[in-house]
Chain A
Amino acid sequence: MDRSQLLRGTTALLILGVLKDGELYGYEIAQRIRERSAAFIDPGEGWLYPALHRLEKQGALQGSWRDGGLGPRRRYYRVTDGGLQMFNTQSAEWERFAQSVRLVTVGATNG
């Protein structure tokens, strides 16, 4: 199965899921998703920044610049109240979807 297809519908959920525990910058977000998924979700990061900017436009995230020490400055993101609400809604929706898929596929296997 093409994992990038699966990822396309869940980018907001994945980003909000790792950011609800605290603010992170882009590279950290990608790493955190990779770690939590045991490297199962690791398609590269081209999808990440468009998704972050879209969520920020929608008001689900708030970004702020911080000095990067010796390196370039970094943009940190944190979840807003609206973003948390979006996460809860999407998370519940995803759970129902995953359960439904499981019911269908288990039924198919048993049948």
Chain B
Amino acid sequence: MAEDGSDGERFLESVEQHLPFDEPERADILDELRSHLADSAAAMEAKGLGRAEAERAAVKRLGPAKRLADELTRARRDRSRLLAAAGAGAWGLVRGGVWGGLVGWAVVTVAALLISTAIAVAARQTGGAWTGLDTGTSAIPNIVALGVAVFVAARLLTPTFAARAGYAAPLVRWLTMPIGAALVLTYALAIWSGPLNWPGVVALVTLPLWWVAGAWQTRPFRLAFPRRIALSLAVAVGILFGANALFGPMLAGSARAYAWPAGSDRIGAPMPDWAAKAGSGGTTFGGYEELTIDVSDRTLLTGWTDLRIEAWRGTDPARGGGLDATETEPFLTAPVQWSAAGTSPDGNSVWYGGQGWPANAATLTGGLRLDRSPAATWAWLALTGVAPDGQRHLLSSLSGRQVFFQGTVLDWFGAVFSGG
């Protein structure tokens, strides 16, 4: 029988290196060859050869290791193996995706919480204000967790498919890598939809790289309970609770008092007295924002032209911002609509229903989609119109809104290239 380091074992190791099958199948093939070498060497020893010489002769009769491995591989391939490989590959994808997604999500979420806590502690110690991640940025941890899921799924797919199909993994990756990367890219560009900003777009566009990195690996990969990761998460959660206990609630952040944005006269001030006294309101439907004023007498606006809702670029007032001082024009406008007093233009919404409205009362409504403007993070909305004096005046008070782009990466680039 071949011993460790002998010609026979070296030959078997060489054969094993060239067999693409998984461990149990390789072990069967090698056991059969090992028993053959033992019998063959024993027969030659019986004829008078020395042990080492007999083993060398037995190895020689089997021919070159690579050729034998290649011929065995070809002999064991058939169509049913391809079907089994497709099934095993799909199962590997699902297992890897779920495992990677869970682990990735846990790690990334805890990391995001740790970083947020660290920033909140630093802000508190230095007297600054921090109100947490904005909506667009908050999607990035999920995208990164998705990247980990994609990496592990691809990491499992290549060696699993290769071993079941009976093809070398370095060959199979030239199939799994481009096809998978194309599918992941399609998902990242056209299917994933949510709040986006530039870092989020970059995270999504680079999602196929996670796949390429995983599919490139050819060594078998076993999913195991990630003890180190679990331990790290436990330590991280401990740090979070410790920081919270020492420094007080961190994650809620602290906001400065609301500040009326300076420079609002650029929009269209002053506001007529009757408009200032008019009832007004705002509504949000997903990314669609509406402003309304209930005008007691519609004739007050006789001679006014170009009544519209405007959105001006600004910064978060809670962070000390306001109207962007460099802006001279609204970045979005839309004409307003008249409707019966206390009623939305489509008639589906009625407010102050029991109120006795004056005979000429009416409601003025303007609406804009704010979730299609990649260049804005904060917007100030107002209803305005050009009075008979030729000047534009405010018809409602200013209303601030956080703006975040909502959609796919293709929507994002479409909006960017169309000047949104």
Contacts and interface: CB of A to CB of B under 8 A. Distances in A.
B346 interface: no
Contacts, number: 64
Contacts of B40: 27, 45
Contacts of B33: 49
Contacts of A72: 1, 31, 34-35, 38
Interface residues of B, number: 26
B75 interface: yes
Contact of A44 (B35, B61, B72, B75): B61
B313 to A, nearest CB: 70
B18 to A, nearest CB: 13
A71 B61 contact: no
A65 B28 CA distance: 9
A74 interface: yes
A73 B35 contact: yes
A96 interface: no
A75 interface: yes
- Per DSSP, are chain A's interface residues mostly helix, strand or loop, or mixed? mixed
Interface stretch (B63-71, B138-146, B279-287, B357-365): B63-71
A75 B36 CA distance: 10
Interface residues of A, number: 21
A58 to B, nearest CB: 9
Contacts of A101: none
Contacts of A71: 1, 35, 38-39
Nearest to A44: B61
Contacts of A68: 35
- Per DSSP, are chain B's interface residues mostly helix, strand or loop, or mixed? helix
Contacts of A65: 28
A75 B68 contact: no
A95 B152 CA distance: 58
B76 interface: yes
Contact of A46 (B1, B63, B76): B63
A27 B36 contact: yes
A41 to B, nearest CB: 13
B67 A53 contact: no
Contacts of A45: 36, 40, 61-62
B35 A74 contact: yes
A27 B35 contact: yes
A20 interface: no
A50 interface: yes
B74 interface: yes
A40 to B, nearest CB: 16
Nearest to A63: B32
B107 to A, nearest CB: 44
Given A53-B76, A74-B32, 5 more contacts: A46-B64, A49-B72, A50-B72, A50-B74, A74-B35
8 contacts: A25-B35, A27-B35, A27-B39, A31-B43, A54-B76, A71-B1, A71-B35, A71-B39
Chain A to chain B: the 3 pairs with minimum beta-carbon distance, closest first: A46-B63, A50-B71, A27-B39
Interface of B: 1, 28-29, 31-36, 38-40, 43, 60-64, 67-68, 71-72, 74-76, 78
